Amino acid sequence: MNHPKGYFWYNILPMKKTVYLDNNATTRIAPEVRDVMQPFFGELYGNPSSMHAFGGQVSKFVTRAREEVAQFINCSPDEVIFTSCATESDNSAIRGAADWHGTGMKVITTAVEHPAVLQPCRRLKALGHEEVELPVDGKGQIDLERLRAELKGTKNALVSIMWANNETGTVFPVEEIAGICKEYGATFHTDAVQVAGKIPVDVKKVPVDMLSMSGHKFHAPKGVGIFYVRRGTKIKPFMLGGHQEAGRRAGTENVPYILGIAKACELSRTGMEAEAVQLTKLRDRLEKGILETCPDTIVNGDRSHRLPNTLNVSFEYIEGEAIAYHLSDEGICISTGSACASGSLDPSHVIRAMGVPFIAVHGSVRFSLSRYNTDADIDYVLEKLPPVIKNLRELSPFGPENDPTTFS
């Protein structure tokens, strides 16, 4: 790779063949997105809030970008707020609602949310609000009757439930959840980070009050997010300061990235249907190949309500970290747990919450595909993975004949 010389550039080793199957962690920036952003790093550097025409012309591009995002999720442009990432959008929803209510809010979430939702919910609990984390079943789904029971009799309730899980790809019944929230007068926020660009999001059909998305999960750069807030939703701004985003999110707009995420929305809006077919085909071929060649392997999540690009499997009796490490040696990028949790050897909170058997919890890994994956990528994984699993099993002190869960 050619890099400008300078003290802050690391030497990047020439990579051998890379098969990138970690797209729920982050995605490659689409070349079309890069092209759209380029002028805003050069001649179009004006501040969209400036009074002069030089800034004003930039402001027009931001307006156009907001319209594109609105079209992507079927809302009005004035309901779209640009943020720095989905973590900011999630925090803005949860902390913003609590700030509006002051005291005595009940926040209901699930045990399998991303930390960007779980941590702010737990913070509210520490501040004296009531917090409930709904358990999930073996497929990673919640019990809607339990949600109803928790909402019964509440006055100020906020429900934050993800549209789809980042580790297993399990898709939640958000349309029904939105209906239940309406019935009980609760505000409903959904973390839609993993569905962006994979399945259609229409906030008229699925009437959520707030929704979060992140650019880098669907081929825009890291550092830009979307925060949808339905008109009339009771929240206070999380970021205070200037008057940007109609006073709802202070801070000078990140113009190039806003243009980038809008282009990513356009690409997804026009290409998603065909892409989902292609992703499902590749993912299912990978799943079938793994199950055929690697015994004692289970698929985690809800296979009939799952993102088209995600496959989470547990290889019993061995460690997911060891699998990821050996595949990395072959140039294959996968993940164990969420990217944010890697670095810790604790098993994923999502897999544990689903009650996956002990011998399979530690051996869980995630393959997540994107529009840039090909049949050749799947062939390569199906060639390299089975010997890795076989070798690790031979080294493992555990196995079907020596199951640690049966030790007394």
Ligand X SMILES: Cc1ncc(COP(=O)(O)O)c(C=O)c1O
Least distance (Å) between residue 25 CB and ligand X: 6
Least distance (Å) between residue 92 CB and ligand X: 12
Give the binding range for ligand X (CB under 6 A) out of 31-39, 100-108, 141-149, 190-198. 190-198
Return the residues of window 57-96 that contact ligand X according to CB under 6 A: 85-87
* C-alpha distance from residue 135 to each of 24, 142, 146, 225, 374 (Å): 23, 6, 9, 28, 37
Say if residues 236 and 96 touch (Cβ distance below 8 Å).
yes
The closest of 223, 265, 205, 217 to 80, measured between CA atoms, is 265
Least distance (Å) between residue 85 CB and ligand X: 3
Annotated catalytic residue: which of 75, 294, 333, 340?
340
Site size toward ligand X, by CB under 6 A: 14
Say if residues 272 and 197 touch (Cβ distance below 8 Å).
yes
Give the binding range for ligand X (CB under 6 A) out of 127-135, 141-149, 175-183, 187-195. 187-195
Site string for ligand X, 313-352 (x = CB under 6 A): -------------------------xx-------------
Indicate if 75 belongs to the active site: no
- With CB under 6 A as the contact rule, the residue among 92, 194, 254, 335 that binds ligand X is 194
Label the pairing between strands 157-160 and 106-110.
parallel
Q: Which parts of 196-306 fold into alpha helices (H)?
A: 244-247, 255-293
- Which residue, 193 or 201, is less far from ligand X as judged by CB? 193
Strand order in the sheet with 210-214: 80-83, 225-229, 210-214, 187-191, 157-160, 106-110, 130-134
DSSP state of 395: H
Return the residues of window 105-144 that contact ligand X according to CB under 6 A: 114, 116
Residue 345: its H or E element? none
Least distance (Å) between residue 164 CB and ligand X: 8
DSSP state of 216: G
Give the binding range for ligand X (CB under 6 A) out of 186-194, 300-308, 343-351, 398-406. 186-194
Return the residues of window 144-183 that contact ligand X according to CB under 6 A: 162, 166
Q: Phi-psi region for residue 153, left (φ > 0), alpha (ψ -120 to 50) or beta?
A: left
Is residue 22 a contact point for ligand X (CB under 6 A)?
no
CA triplet 52, 57, 58: central angle to 5 degrees? Answer: 105
Token readout for 325 is: 């490490």
> Tokens 């259609």 correspond to what residue?
200
Least distance (Å) between residue 289 CB and ligand X: 26
Least distance (Å) between residue 72 CB and ligand X: 17
- With CB under 6 A as the contact rule, the residue among 68, 191, 253, 319 that binds ligand X is 191
CA triplet 179, 180, 183: central angle to 5 degrees? Answer: 90
Q: Which residues are catalytic?
A: 340
Chain positions contacting ligand X, by CB under 6 A: 85-87, 114, 116, 162, 166, 191, 193-194, 214, 225, 338-339
